[in-house]
Amino acid sequence: MAEELKEMHGLLGQMIQAAKDRRKDELLKLDGLYETLLQRVYSKLDEPLRLEYDNCRQSCVTAVTMLPHLYESLISDSEERFSKLPKPKC
pLDDT tens sequence across 45-67: 889 998 999 999 999 999 998 88
Q: Is residue 89 part of a domain?
A: no
Q: Is residue 79 part of a domain?
A: yes
How far apart are alpha carbons 3 and 71 in whole angstroms? Answer: 31
Residue 37 sits in which domain range? 2-84
How far apart are alpha carbons 43 and 4 in whole angstroms? Answer: 12
Domain total for the chain? 1
- Whether 13 has a pLDDT exceeding 70, the answer reads yes
Q: Is residue 34 part of a domain?
A: yes
- Whether 22 has a pLDDT exceeding 70, the answer reads yes
Q: Is residue 24 part of a domain?
A: yes
- Whether 88 has a pLDDT exceeding 80, the answer reads yes
How far apart are alpha carbons 90 and 36 in whole angstroms? Answer: 20
Residue of 73, 82, 61, 58 whose CA lies nearest to 18:
61
Q: Is residue 18 part of a domain?
A: yes
Residue 90: what pLDDT?
Answer: 62
Q: Is residue 78 part of a domain?
A: yes
How far apart are alpha carbons 68 and 66 in whole angstroms? Answer: 6
Residue 40: what pLDDT?
Answer: 87
